[in-house]
Chains A and B, each alone.
Chain A
Amino acid sequence: MSANEKNIAQGEDVGGAFDESSGTIFERVLFCNRKILFAIGVLVTLFLAYQSAKLDVNASFEKMMPSEHEYIKNYKEFAGNLRSLGNAVTVVVENKNGSIYDAEYQKTLSEINDRVFLIKGVDRAFVQSLWMASVRWTAVTEEGFDGGPVMPPDYDGSSESLNKLRDNVAKAGLKGSLVGLNERSSALFIPLMERDSETGEPLDYKAFTDSLRAINDEFESRGVELHVIGFAKLVGDLIAGLMQVLSYFIIAAVVVSVLVYWYSRCLISTSVVIICSLMGVVWQLGMMRLMGFVLDPFSVLVPFLVFAIGVSHGSQMINGIIQDIGSGLGRYMASRLTFRRLCLAGTVALVSDALGFAVIAVIAIPAIRDLAFLATMGVVALIVTNLFFIPVILSFTGITKRAAKHAERVQKSNHSVSQWLGLITGKKVAVGVLVSVAVITVAGFIYGQKMQIGDVEAGAPELRADSEYNLDVEYVQKNYGLSNDLFAVIVTTPEGGLGNFETLLEIDRLERLLRDLPGVQVTESAASMAKKFTPAGFEGSPKWYTISRSPYITNDAVDSIFTARPGLINDSRTVAPIIAYLTDHKAETLQRVAEVVEAFAAEHNNDQRQFLLAAGNAGVEAATNQTVEKANYQMLVLVYAAVILLCLVTFRSWRAVVIAILPLVVISTLGQALMVFMGIGLKVATLPVTALGVGIGVDYALYLLTAYMVFLRQGMSVRQAYVNALVSTGKVVMLVGVTLTAAVATWAWSPIKFQADMGLMLAFMFLGNMLGALIIIPALATFLLKPKNMNKEIKENKVEVKKNILEKIHAERALV
């Protein structure tokens, strides 16, 4: 032994001089080259900061789909052929002052039409509105068909031409499609091109949405209001929401900084922790860009988590250094000794957090996998930026005198909170606590059984019910009568097969089944459309409202569908959707439709025609619900297996494992009850919450129980051991709990509903697990982990205890 011991003693003598050859190789390399490494760290940070500044922002829906689900595979395979489900927005122009048959309104409408027409990305050939000459009326006359543009070519704003327009709208049957049912609004149907036909650049959703907003702002004063719905608008709004959430990071950072300052009372070390944690965030963002990721509504949340975890672990590091300096050590030595003490433990804690994130990756939804990967990467970055750089930087800067004094004062205080919490270890109190917890948990469990899968509120579930977008959806739904929840079945056939009578008949059969289902408003497909188009060849006679067995008649009808509604059938007549418009997107509605289609497909699929699930937003949602429900159990099993294993390795005592895990189970159960209470469903965003809560929540138990067992081994009573454990680690537990909660709680104000739900739930899990650990652990320990249980443990862990005692002696000597 005692080269080390001697050297430490010597070092202390000269007040900061230190044997540079002590410690691990790693430690020596780090501290002996600290200037160079610091410089490299700064350079790397600058480089990655430059990278992160160039991060792209997008809101990809594809990433939120369960990519391995059969429905999604089918959808992706045929997406290119399903043009009716393609990218388009509907702009409804509402006349605030009355009917659309008004010269002023029509003038405004035509100007808006021209402006929208010119927005980049619009597929101009297929734009439809009252002012597009391609929108025509037709009528059967004695001579055959008669028709013309709905907007009279000689329109001059006179009441005659307005009357003519009204007649044409009636003849063309535009009510409910391009004209509102109450005639107070009319619609522009704007198909978009995914890629610019000249430059090949992908559609810029943000720019597109901004252009529409500018048009609305400009024309608002003229008595009209624009209601815009459609995928592109939704994505644009999500991007705007995501930028807003990103700005909450500043709030989170300020709140967390204040907490750390309150904890350390040292401006220097607070700044160091915050700066190093920000470095971790910058590294994470920079690496994210280098690996080709973009910021989306999920990945934007990772910096918050990384920052909070970095701050809470960094705080332990400065806590050690402050305490060492408070005890009279030089800044260099204090930093280096703290590093030596905490390097391994800190790394293990961070790795276990990373493990918690990694477990989430079992969910086969790319957005969640990305989230898991990026968070894991961020935590790994923290090992470098926080565990290594904090002591290195503090070895240069030291801490403020005030902080050192504060640390001294805290150590000598009577720890009233800890004493108070220690009361829980009284048998009567412990029984009381355990019984109340059991009652609350059972009640929570029963209540939590009512948890819904998926979303239930009307409108786009990504945004809040009262968001501008969802209000617009509601307006359009009310005034045009069609729902926004589309469930599409994909019908595939061999080349030309959709002209086949039997295929159309089978499609019609499925359509009829769907139409009879509760929750289905209307259906649309090549078959029902063929019925509508067949009479056109027979003077509109309703007796010809049929799918004819005659290939000539049927092919004629199918050709007309292809011209009039190209989305319902593809060029080669091999792919066609059956679209069911649903009254809502409740999980049971979706499941009911999915089951009917699956049963039909099982019976009717053959080599001439296949009925495949599913496309449309409701189809994707059905797949997501199924995946999420299955993944929930899978993930819970995995995450609990992981933390149980981690606890077993750490404590080597089943009693301790039970004590560590039970509070997590309680809080998870209550979390589920909270979801029911708040009307939050189990969905892509809330699925990882339990896993994250448990993965990070186990840290509290790790800190508390490790210390508790050490003190128990030293022969203390349950209460003494617990109070001492609280004095040494309780504050860290609280700091971790509060900083994590503060960071994620800011999401609750996000305009993106799933982020808000996620923030609320995570805040509950982080805070709940902290309180659960502080309150339930002592109550359980009173009965499960008493000094007499430790006797055996002591024997088993004799070697380790010896080592512990030895280390303690070392440390005490060093401090003398």
Chain B
Amino acid sequence: MIVGPAGLILASSDAGQSWKQAQVPVQSDLVAVTLVSESKGWAVGHDGVILVTADGGASWQKQLDGVMAAEQFKKYYENMLKKGEPEAELALEATELNYRDGPALPYLDVWFKNESVGFAVGAFGNIARTDDGGDTWAPWTHRIDNESGLHLNSVTAVGGGIFIGSERGTIFRLNEETNIFEIIDTGYSGSFTGITGDDSQVIAYGLQGTAYRSTDSGANWQVVAGLPRSTINNAFLRAEGKGFVLVSQAGELVLTDHYFSSFDVLNSEKTTIYTSVVEAADNEFLVTTLEGVERISLSERKTEKPRTQE
């Protein structure tokens, strides 16, 4: 399933051979999609839109948008204040600030634990959580250590932990006991666009071919060297120990082993940006670009080694 500009959602059930356009009630630009089962999934995007499908992506319903959120979230914190919960004060301020110039701000990523519990994260520290499959969304601004309102670029679960990739080398990890996203400083100064990994390691990737690696569930991080120097937009760990695959802003598809010890690069034949990647079949990748979907077959193409860094 892929999402795109102007409310475009396409679904394929034959590994990307054919696509079917879904019925979508909005024309906002969509940026992320997640599925928890064959039928159930969510998509998020600009104007604070959250959409849900219950029929495997054929039709979608709106659960939240910027206008609704502005009203509901403010009311939520005003109520908290009335109940005398002081942490609501800062959160209310941040919420008011975010919706001051209209309902524009996007959710940049969405992740669901199961059919009920999920998070949507977005620009300027926007975060919302649901416990009822998205029927109601509640703001979580008071439950994240994000006083400076950093962009929350991605949210996902790796090896039992729930992580949010953010700016200024920041990662947030959910403390399931306190139900608070705690801040982790990796030591990096730029942004992380996404997080991936498995039980043994967490990988956070971002600007200019940067990747950080943690083998202790995100407590300590080491920089990964040797990646091509362009922003990594998406990455995942392939099945059966075949290592990671990453796609970049410069239209590169990078293959590496489980330990990031060597890299093989496939350059796009066009000038384009790769935005995300999936492995549709063995050694067959589907890459989304700003111009559409590209199919990359490893058997047909020759990889090269990344050019040496200066």
User: Which positions in A face B, CB cutoff 8 Å?
Assistant: 139-143, 173, 175-176, 508, 512, 538-553
Assess whether B231 is interfacial by the CB under 8 Å rule.
Answer: yes
Minimum CB–CB distance for A704 against chain B, Å: 68
What are 20 inter-chain pairs, A to B, with CB distance below 8 A? A140-B208, A142-B188, A142-B210, A173-B271, A175-B271, A539-B190, A539-B191, A539-B207, A542-B233, A542-B290, A543-B31, A543-B32, A543-B153, A544-B106, A546-B29, A546-B46, A546-B106, A550-B102, A551-B101, A551-B102
Q: Residue-by-residue, is B60-82 near A (CB-CB < 8 Å gives 1, otherwise 0)?
A: 00000010000000000000000
Contact B101 A142 (CB under 8 A): no
The 10 closest A-B pairs by CB, nearest first: A142-B190, A549-B104, A550-B104, A543-B31, A142-B189, A546-B29, A542-B275, A550-B101, A548-B104, A546-B46
Contact B189 A143 (CB under 8 A): yes
From A545, A547, A548, give the contact of B290 (CB < 8 A).
A545
Question: Which residues from chain A contact B193 at a C-beta distance below 8 Å?
Answer: 541
Given contacts A539-B231, A541-B193, contact A549 B207 (CB under 8 A): no
Question: Which residues from chain A contact B208 at a C-beta distance below 8 Å?
Answer: 139-142
Question: Which residues from chain A contact B25 at a C-beta distance below 8 Å?
Answer: none
Size band of the interface chain B makes with A: 20 to 34
Question: Which residues from chain A contact B129 at a C-beta distance below 8 Å?
Answer: none
Given contacts A539-B207, A546-B29, A549-B102, contact A141 B190 (CB under 8 A): yes
CA distance A550 to B32 in the complex (A): 20
Interface centre among A140, A143, A543, A544 (most CB of B within 10 A): A543
Contact A176 B231 (CB under 8 A): no
Contact A548 B46 (CB under 8 A): yes
Q: Residue-by-residue, is B144-178 near A (CB-CB < 8 Å gives 1, otherwise 0)?
A: 00000001010000000000000000000000000
Question: Which residues from chain B contact A553 at a C-beta distance below 8 Å?
Answer: 104
A-B contact count (CB 8 A): 67
Assess whether B5 is interfacial by the CB under 8 Å rule.
Answer: yes
CA distance A553 to B106 in the complex (A): 12
Question: Which residues from chain B contact A544 at a C-beta distance below 8 Å?
Answer: 106
Known contacts A139-B208, A540-B249, A541-B231; 8 further A-B pairs (Cβ under 8 A) = A142-B208, A176-B271, A508-B6, A539-B190, A540-B231, A542-B273, A551-B101, A553-B104
Assess whether B226 is interfacial by the CB under 8 Å rule.
Answer: no
Contact A141 B207 (CB under 8 A): yes
CB under 8 Å from chain A, chain B span 96-145: 101-106, 108, 123
CB under 8 Å from chain A, chain B span 188-224: 188-191, 193, 207-208, 210
Q: From B193, which residue of chain A is reached at the shortest CB distance? A: A541
From B66, B101, B108, B188, give the contact of A543 (CB < 8 A).
B108
Minimum CB–CB distance for A603 against chain B, Å: 16
CA distance A553 to B188 in the complex (A): 27
Contact B102 A546 (CB under 8 A): no
Assess whether B47 is interfacial by the CB under 8 Å rule.
Answer: yes
Minimum CB–CB distance for A170 against chain B, Å: 9
Question: Which residues from chain B contact A143 at a C-beta distance below 8 Å?
Answer: 189
CA distance A768 to B124 in the complex (A): 79
Question: Which residues from chain A contact B104 at a C-beta distance below 8 Å?
Answer: 548-550, 553
Contact A142 B207 (CB under 8 A): yes
Minimum CB–CB distance for A234 against chain B, Å: 29
CA distance A549 to B104 in the complex (A): 5
CA distance A735 to B56 in the complex (A): 84
CA distance A73 to B288 in the complex (A): 44
CA distance A143 to B167 in the complex (A): 12
CA distance A549 to B67 in the complex (A): 12
CA distance A544 to B273 in the complex (A): 13
From A173, A512, A542, A550, give the contact of B105 (CB < 8 A).
A550
Interface centre among A139, A512, A548 (most CB of B within 10 A): A548
Given contacts A173-B271, A551-B101, contact A545 B207 (CB under 8 A): no
Q: From B31, which residue of chain A is reached at the shortest CB distance? A: A543
Q: From B208, which residue of chain A is reached at the shortest CB distance? A: A141
Question: Which residues from chain A contact B5 at a C-beta distance below 8 Å?
Answer: 545-546
Contact A538 B233 (CB under 8 A): no
Minimum CB–CB distance for A711 against chain B, Å: 79
CA distance A8 to B252 in the complex (A): 104
CA distance A553 to B47 in the complex (A): 13
Contact A549 B151 (CB under 8 A): no
Question: Which residues from chain B contact A142 at a C-beta distance below 8 Å?
Answer: 188-190, 207-208, 210
CA distance A274 to B138 in the complex (A): 97
Question: Which residues from chain A contact B106 at a C-beta distance below 8 Å?
Answer: 543-544, 546
Minimum CB–CB distance for B176 against chain A, Å: 28
Question: Which residues from chain B contact A540 at a C-beta distance below 8 Å?
Answer: 231, 249
Question: Which residues from chain A contact B273 at a C-beta distance below 8 Å?
Answer: 542
Q: From B234, which residue of chain A is reached at the shortest CB distance? A: A542
CA distance A805 to B148 in the complex (A): 113
Contact A549 B188 (CB under 8 A): no
CB under 8 Å from chain A, chain B span 37-53: 46-47
Interface centre among A140, A173, A550, A552 (most CB of B within 10 A): A550
CA distance A553 to B249 in the complex (A): 22
Q: From B307, which residue of chain A is reached at the shortest CB distance? A: A167
CA distance A187 to B250 in the complex (A): 23
CA distance A763 to B32 in the complex (A): 68
CA distance A548 to B122 in the complex (A): 14
From A140, A541, A545, give the contact of B29 (CB < 8 A).
A545
CA distance A140 to B232 in the complex (A): 12
Minimum CB–CB distance for A362 against chain B, Å: 47
Q: From B123, which residue of chain A is reached at the shortest CB distance? A: A538
Question: Which residues from chain A contact B290 at a C-beta distance below 8 Å?
Answer: 542, 545
Minimum CB–CB distance for B213 against chain A, Å: 18
Given contacts A143-B189, A173-B271, A175-B271, contact A541 B101 (CB under 8 A): no
Question: Which residues from chain B contact A546 at a C-beta distance below 8 Å?
Answer: 5, 29, 46, 106
Contact A549 B189 (CB under 8 A): no
CA distance A541 to B5 in the complex (A): 14
Question: Which residues from chain A contact B189 at a C-beta distance below 8 Å?
Answer: 142-143
From A173, A508, A549, give the contact of B66 (CB < 8 A).
A549
Q: From B274, which residue of chain A is reached at the shortest CB distance? A: A542
Minimum CB–CB distance for B50 against chain A, Å: 15
Question: Which residues from chain A contact B233 at a C-beta distance below 8 Å?
Answer: 541-542
Question: Which residues from chain B contact A543 at a C-beta distance below 8 Å?
Answer: 31-32, 106, 108, 153, 275
